[in-house]
Amino acid sequence: MSSFPEPAQALCAARAILQATDQSDGPAIALRVGIHTGNVVQTNDDFFGSVVNKAARIAALAAPGKIQVSDATRKMVGETQDYRFAKATSVQLQGFDGEHLIHRLV
């Protein structure tokens, strides 16, 4: 779990982590990344709240080695040369009402 002041910083860090694990000579690590944007509750070095829970649910839906983001994060980051996203997918997230759009970083 990590927290960043800006969504683009989270995407940059996620990419770097995945690239580092891909280049490792050690055993394969199947990391899945989910990013959501919003206010969290912080206690010492821990983060809590629905934003954290939603990010975890999004990560659980990601394929190994992939980064998925919430619609809120996607809107804040925008579509740039650095960040391009696949077509949004509508999903249900455990513990959250309704359908939620998620986007895979490509």
* Position 80 in a domain: yes
State the total domains in the chain.
1
CB-based contact 20:29 (threshold 8 Å): no
CB-based contact 1:14 (threshold 8 Å): no
Specify the pTM.
0.91
* Position 43 in a domain: yes
Q: What is the pLDDT of residue 81?
A: 79
Q: What is the pLDDT of residue 78?
A: 87
Distance CA 69, CA 31 (A): 15
* Position 29 in a domain: yes
Tokens of 84: 């391009």
**pLDDT tens digits in sequence order for the chain, 106 residues long:** 889 999 999 999 999 999 998 887 878 888 999 999 999 999 998 999 999 999 999 999 999 999 999 999 999 998 787 899 999 999 999 999 999 999 999 9
DSSP string, 6-24: SHHHHHHHHHHHHHHHHT-
Domain of residue 71 covers: 7-104
* Position 1 in a domain: no
* Position 2 in a domain: no
* Position 37 in a domain: yes
* Position 88 in a domain: yes
Domain CATH for 50: 3.30.70.1230
CA quadruple 8, 104, 92, 32: dihedral positive or negative? Answer: negative
Tokens of 7: 């969504």
Which secondary-structure segment (H or E) carries 33? strand 33-35
